[in-house]
Each structure stands twice: as C-alpha cells, then as structure tokens.
C-alpha cells in the first residue's frame, strides 16, 4: 500500500482524513508485525528540528497524523494539503468505538497514578463491549518499567496507548515496542486526562474554529511557555516556504 505524504519542516505527514486514518490503523491490526502511529503538533515538529532521535522515530513511524491545526495550516505551503486535523484523542475514540465488541483489546499506559484506571472505567461505560486488558500510570523507575513491560506482554493488547507526553512517549515506543508485543502503539499525550474527565476538551465551537490551542492556553495557563513555540513554528514555515 503506497503512502501519500507531505513534508512539513522535514516531518513527513500522511495525507489522510480521520476516516482514512482510522481505517489504516485497523489495517495494521490485520497486517503482519508491529506498527506505531505518531500524532505530532507544531511543538513536536519544532522539537524534531533539534532532536535527531525524534526525527528518526517520526521517519520510521507507520503513520504520522497532524494533532494540531497549526500543522494543517502549514500544509498550505507544502506539496500536498492535509485534509483535516487528525487529533490523537479523536483517533483513539474512533478506534475504541469501532473495536468495541470485537476481539481487539487496549492497554492504557501513562498519566498520573489513577488516571489511566479512571479513563478505562469511563471508556468501558462509553463503549460497551470494549476490551481494556490493563492499565498502568506513567511514572516509573527502571525497576518498575520492567514490571510494566511484563504486565503489558502478559495481557497482550492489540493496541497499546502510551500517554507519557511528547517526545518521551515516542522514544519509549521506539525503544520498547518489540518487548510489549502489541500490534499497534500510539503516543497519545494527555489523552487519559481527558478520557477520565480530569481535563476538559475545548468546546466544539473552539474546535470547529481551529482554536482549541487558544482554549487550552486560557484554561491551562501553565502551557504558555510551550505555546510560545506556535508563532515560531508559523514564522519558520513562512520563511522556508
């Protein structure tokens, strides 16, 4: 299956709609071997400029989708336009909806203690028949990490959601995917915080207008320093167009 991709500041994104991304993700479950999906936002695209390891991981990913309207905007200046934002949160919700009641299973790994478990309870309620075979929080030392890997392997999930924040989760997946045995790994950032209800997603109007970043800025002002990278990203895109 050929891939239609477009480069944004040297990160190759797959030119897919949400629908196509979900179908492709499900095709990975039927395919041979293991796969992983990255969902970079502008901050991560910027980070990849100075982080060679991250760059390599993004290059080797089986699918890269834009989690951020800034990336979709930037594609105006690349060879092909990205049709829409494919947020990691929406993609995973979609997969859980489609796979509930099937044999495919999930494992939630990441977030503060208790968050992944709360997210799992909520998702089982939202998607009856959904199989979540294990959860673990995302704060661990080396010894604990070994146990986590064993636990994941023991429960052999089809899909492992890794929410350690970017780029930690991407590096974790690249290093450990093999040991987990999961068919598909997805780096999901703070998704468990949202699934559990601890953090609210921006209201629909903000999302429709492409202003989710603005909503997050006013509700989580701690993020402002990270968000300074947004205008830098925009300027870099314009300069390199």
Question: Which is closer to ligand UDP, CB of 104 or CB of 174?
Answer: 174
To the nearest whole angstrom, how small is the minimum distance from the Cβ of residue 193 to ligand UDP?
A: 5
Please tell me the distance from the alpha carbon of residue 39 to that of residue 29, in angstroms, as a whole number.
18
In which residue are the tokens 């594609």 written? 75
Calculated CA dihedral for residues 193, 154, 148, 110, nearest 10 degrees: -10
Question: Which is closer to ligand UDP, CB of 26 or CB of 106?
Answer: 106
From residue 136, how far is each of 51, 99, 145, 152 by CA, in Å? Answer: 28, 21, 10, 9
Question: Which is closer to ligand UDP, CB of 81 or CB of 201?
Answer: 201
To the nearest whole angstrom, how small is the minimum distance from the Cβ of residue 174 to ligand UDP?
A: 16
To the nearest whole angstrom, how small is the minimum distance from the Cβ of residue 28 to ligand UDP?
A: 21
Asked whether the CA dihedral 83, 162, 90, 32 is positive or negative, the reply is positive
To the nearest whole angstrom, how small is the minimum distance from the Cβ of residue 62 to ligand UDP?
A: 19
**Where on the chain is the footprint of ligand UDP (CB under 6 A)?**
110-112, 138-139, 163-166, 189-190, 192-193
Nearest residue to the partner ligand UDP, using Cβ: 138
Rg of the chain (C-alpha set): 17
């Amino acid at each position: 299956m050929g891939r239609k991709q477009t480069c944004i500041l040297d990160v190759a994104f797959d030119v897919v709609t949400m629908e196509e991304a979900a179908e492709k993700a499900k095709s990975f479950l039927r395919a041979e071997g293991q796969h992983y999906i990255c969902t970079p936002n502008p901050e991560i695209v910027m980070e990849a400029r100075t982080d060679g390891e991250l760059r390599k991981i993004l290059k080797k990913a089986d699918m890269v989708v834009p989690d951020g309207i800034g990336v979709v905007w930037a594609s105006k200046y690349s060879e092909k336009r990205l049709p829409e934002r494919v947020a990691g949160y929406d993609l995973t919700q979609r997969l859980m909806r489609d796979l509930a009641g099937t044999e495919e299973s999930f494992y939630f790994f990441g977030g503060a203690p208790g968050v992944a478990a709360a997210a799992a309870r909520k998702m089982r309620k939202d998607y009856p028949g959904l199989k979540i075979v294990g959860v673990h929080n995302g704060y661990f030392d080396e010894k604990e990490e070994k146990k986590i890997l064993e636990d994941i392997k023991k429960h052999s999930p089809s899909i492992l959601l890794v929410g350690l924040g970017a780029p930690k989760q991407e590096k974790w997946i690249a290093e450990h995917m093999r040991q987990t045995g999961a068919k598909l790994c997805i780096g999901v950032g703070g998704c468990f915080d949202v699934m559990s209800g601890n953090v609210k997603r921006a209201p629909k109007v903000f999302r429709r207008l492409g202003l989710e970043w603005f909503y997050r800025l006013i509700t989580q002002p701690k993020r402002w320093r990270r968000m300074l990278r947004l205008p830098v990203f925009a300027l870099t895109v314009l300069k390199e167009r």
